Amino acid sequence: MEKTLSIVKPDGTRKNIIGEVIKRFEQRGLRITALKMLRLSQDEAKLFYIIHREKPFYESLTSFMSEGPIVVMVIEGEHAITMVREIMGATNPKEAAQGTIRSDFATSVEHNIVHGSDSKESAAYEIPFFFSSLDIF
């Protein structure tokens, strides 16, 4: 079984669609093995998104990610990383397949409702950023 991290971003919590996001993962046979709501400081968001520090959107992304509560979750299942990314849809909601989370709810590339680990290496960094092994069931 593969594990991945997903985040309902501040725009998703504001739109009150946390349950809808979780439902879409669960309906595809994925299992939520850890879940919590929190608010990142901008410094914490910068650390989480450190891989993007040289990119032009880094400051606006980290500012956005610290502007309200987020919901972080560990998701488990066969091919969980690929499945979560498929359910989320393309980063740009205009390019996201119909019926994906981003096509249905996102307003822009940055305000795109959800985050998901893009590889096993990313998941290995991102999951322990938010959860200890004792938090994951």
DSSP 93-128: TTTSPTTSHHHHH--SSSS-SEEE--SHHHHHHHHH
Structure tokens at 49: 């998104």
DSSP 19: H
Instruction: Give me the residue label for tokens 């040289």.
Output: 54
pLDDT, one tens digit per residue, over 97-112 is 999 999 999 999 999 9
CB 80 within 8 A of CB 74: no
pLDDT band, very low/low/confident/very high, at 6 (cuts 50, 70, 90): very high
Which residues are the active-site residues? 115
CB 34 within 8 A of CB 74: yes
Q: List, in order, residues 6 or more apart from 131 with CB less than 8 Å away.
A: 34, 36, 72, 74
pLDDT, one tens digit per residue, over 38-95 is 999 999 999 999 999 999 999 999 999 999 999 999 999 999 999 999 999 999 999 9
Question: CA 19, 80, 4, 49: dihedral to nearest 10 degrees?
Answer: -90
Question: CA 136, 20, 37, 41: dihedral to nearest 10 degrees?
Answer: 120
Would you state the pLDDT for residue 72? 98
For the chain, count helices (H), then strands (E).
Answer: 7, 4
Cα(5)–Cα(70) distance, integer angstroms: 13
